[in-house]
Amino acid sequence: MCLPSIRHQFSLLNCLAILLFGVLSSVLLAGSAVGQIQNSTAVRRLEQFRERRSEILLNLRHELSQLSQQCFDNGLKQAAEDVTAIQLDLTSPTEGTSLPTLVQLPVSNRLPREEQLWRNRLTTIRSEKAKELYSLARQTLRADLPSLAYQLIHDVLRLDPDHKDARAVLGLQLFNDPRNADDPNYAGEWVSLFEADKRSGSKPEVNHPVYGWIPAANVDRYAEGVRPWRGKWVSEQKEAELRRDFANAWEIRTEHFLIKTNTSLEEGVVISRKLELFHDWLHSNFAAFFDTPAALEERFANTTARRRGVLPKPMEVHYYSTRDEYERRLKGKVPPNVTNGLYWEPDRTCYLFRNDDDVDLNAAFHETTHQMLDLPTIDDRNAAARKRQLLLRERDRRRWELCENSNFWVLEGLACYMESFRMDEGVVSIGDPSHIRFVGAKQRLLDDGFYVDLRSLSTLGMDAFQSHPNVRQLYTQGSGVAHFLLHYQDGIYRDALIKLLAGVYRPDLKDVRTEPSLEKITGVPFEVLDQQYREHMGNL
């Protein structure tokens, strides 16, 4: 055995010392960075507003507990139990629950005096706390925390369903249906501009539970089994035969979508309603993407004087009865037997088909995510293309390609994340860790050892991403990264993800040549984000 020389041994010791120092430095640096994140201005600000929200809800709980005790002391045992139940309902986490639509009736003066007193006190407590939460929501928005601001708006409306400013933030207005004018238990309802227009005028429509929006005058004919067809009435069976040809497809118009389908009217209505719920969730939870800070501030302005607005142009969705028909109509756009749905940007349309393996409509939520993010921002990218042409003195203007040079993961990762959207008995949920996308992301990382660090992942543009030898794994990791950014530590990076998304879809006209960076937006080194992603997946 040959032993190294003394000089060589000394060199080895030096190398080991340097290596050990480097490892320790990296660990200490990472730990220091994590500490800085926990104490960063942005995170502290978020935590401060969350604490103020908790204080208001705690005070609400205290005041309702006092009211319940007063009722009990006065011999109103049932009233005490009712107030306690209301207290538990209002102060328990109920994210995703739908809000009441009917205007609340005032406390009747025909009730016994004791009941009038406690019910009026209950209304006062709820109204006062709702005002505090709305004020906090406006402060939160000005602190550049729009996601929390919208959560607070929902808090406001749980306490005071008739808070006009909070309703206006969500685009809702007071509507009085003339058909209910003689109903003493009806004081109006909160609806969108679209619904108000549909239910008004000389030929009002109703949102039928099975057939969607149809003229009120036609409800009885539908019940008889006949359907309108080009100025006359035909049997339900005859209509189905005629509309089997997609040229004669049913057209289901909702507030934000136009669904064309040759499956059935009833199936098209079910899909349209799920997409409307998804649209509302996305616009509420990603408000900072769809509106500029100035526009959001205007929405939250403390005034009930709102502009009437205009009805949106519907987004078109084609839903075919079979995969074969879907493949035929998309021939030349995508390879056969590869996709389960497509948003085709050139014609601004989503293409889907009835898929027995996708009863949860994963493909529909994935593709309409692309559609909903793309359509409102087309003008921004056209402006960026013009600016780039001037800066580079190009002869011909090139189309602005989304994520051409970087950040392509966010387009597909977020759309994959949105596949987990669900609506069950009036409660919306999203991001369920048991969803196949997130289970897959966890397995890729922890079992397969596959992981592309976030710095490298962010450098991949569209072509580099889609031609990557591990493209399927990248899609899976992208959905995991989206989950991490939206849920880690109760969403401390949620607004950062939305800013990255906005930077991708709405290029900065002051600097169109600089790509948006997740590291710069979060203020957190990529290496620390990698570490936190592993932690998040391990705890999923």
Q: How many domains does the chain have?
A: 3
At residue 337, the pLDDT reads 85
Last residue of a domain, one of 113, 135, 160: 160
β partners of residue 422: 429
Query: Do 427 and 536 fall into the same domain?
Result: yes
How is residue 513 written in tokens? 């040549």
Here the contacts of 363-366 (C-beta below 8 Å, separation 24 or greater) are: 363/419, 364/271, 364/274, 364/275, 364/317, 365/278, 365/418, 365/419, 365/421, 366/341, 366/415, 366/416, 366/418, 366/419
Q: Which helix (H) or strand (E) holds 531?
A: helix 526-539
Q: Which amino acid is at 437?
A: R
Which residues face 320 on adjacent strands? 353
- Residues 390, 533, single domain; the answer is no
Assess if residue 466 is contained within a domain: yes
Q: What is the predicted pLDDT for the residue at 302?
A: 54
Same domain membership, residue 380 and residue 390:
yes
Domain final residue pick, 103, 134, 160 = 160
CA atoms within 13 A on the CB side of 143: 20
- Measure the CA–CA gap between 122 and 144, rounded to whole angstroms: 33
CA-nearest of 432, 394, 410 to 512 is: 394
Give me the pLDDT at residue 20, please.
38
- Amino acid identity, residue 50? R
pLDDT tens, per residue, the chain with 540 residues = 333 333 333 333 343 333 334 433 444 444 444 444 544 677 889 999 999 999 999 999 999 999 999 999 999 999 999 999 999 989 876 666 788 999 999 999 999 999 999 999 999 999 999 999 999 999 999 999 999 999 999 999 999 999 999 999 999 999 999 989 899 999 999 999 999 999 998 999 999 999 999 999 999 999 999 999 999 999 999 999 999 999 999 999 999 999 999 999 999 999 999 999 999 999 999 999 998 888 888 888 755 545 556 777 999 999 999 999 999 999 988 888 889 999 999 999 999 999 999 999 999 999 999 999 999 999 999 999 999 999 988 888 899 999 999 999 999 999 999 999 998 877 899 999 999 999 999 999 999 999 999 999 999 999 999 999 999 999 999 999 999 999 999 999 999 999 999 999 999 999 999 999 999 999 999 999 999 999 999 998
The sign of the torsion formed by the CA atoms of 297, 300, 306, 309 equals positive
Largest CA distance in the chain: 105
Q: Are 126 and 83 members of one domain? A: yes
Give the type of residue at 162: D
> Is 134 within the bounds of a domain?
yes
Helices H / strands E in the chain, number of each = 23, 13
> Do 507 and 523 belong together in one domain?
yes
Beta pairing partners, 235? 226
Query: Is position 380 within any domain?
Result: yes
DSSP 236-264: HHHHHHHHTSGGG-EEEE-SSEEEEESS-
What pLDDT digit, counting tens, does each position of 234-280 carry? Answer: 999 999 999 999 999 999 999 999 999 999 999 999 999 999 999 99
Interstrand relation of 349-353 and 315-320 (parallel, antiparallel or unpaired): parallel
Helix, strand, or coil (residue 491): coil
Cα–Cα distance for residue pair 238/104, rounded to 1 Å: 45
Coil vs helix vs strand at 428:
strand
Residue 302 class from Cβ within 10 Å (0-12 exposed, 13-18 middle, 19+ buried)?
exposed
Q: Which residue has the tokens 């109903």?
A: 183
Q: What is the pLDDT of residue 39?
A: 46
Residues 361, 375, single domain; the answer is yes
Is residue 345 included in any domain, yes or no?
yes
Q: Over 160-176, what HEC string results?
A: CCCCHHHHHHCCEEEEC
Instruction: Please report the pLDDT score of residue 308 as a whole number.
Output: 56
Beta partners for residue 213, in sequence order: 207
Q: Which amino acid is at 160?
A: D
Report the pLDDT value the prediction gives residue 303, as an integer from 0 to 100: 55
Q: Residue 175 in contact with residue 196, Cβ under 8 Å?
A: yes
Distances (CA, A) of 227 to 151, 202, 246, 262, 320: 43, 21, 17, 15, 21
Give the structural domain span for 281.
Answer: 244-400
Asked whether residue 279 falls in the same domain as residue 348, the answer is yes
pLDDT of residue 260: 98
- 381 and 445 share a domain? no
Same domain as 464, residue 385: no
Alpha carbons within 13 A on the beta-carbon side of 140: 26
363 and 421 fall within a common domain: no
Rounded CA separation 523/511 (Å): 19
Q: Has residue 239 been placed in a domain?
A: no
Q: What is the DSSP string of 274-311?
A: HHHHHHHHHHHHTHHHHS-HHHHHHHT-S-S------P
Q: Are 64 and 87 in contact (CB under 8 A)?
A: yes
- Residue 489: inside a domain, yes or no? yes
Instruction: Supply the pLDDT for residue 309.
Output: 64
Environment class of 494 (CB within 10 Å of its CB; exposed 0-12, middle 13-18, buried 19+) = buried
Tokens of 54: 């908790």
CATH number, domain with residue 333: 3.40.30
CA distance 361 to 374: 20
Residues 310 and 384 in one domain: yes
**208 - beta bridge partners?**
212
Read off the amino acid at residue 406: S
Amino acid at 474: L
Which one-letter DSSP state was computed for residue 5? Answer: P
The pair of structure tokens assigned to 249 is 């497809």
Which residue, of 106, 137, 160, is where some domain finishes? 160
- Answer yes or no: is 299 within a domain: yes
Does residue 33 lie within any of the structural domains? no
The reply to whether 420 and 392 lie within a common domain is: no
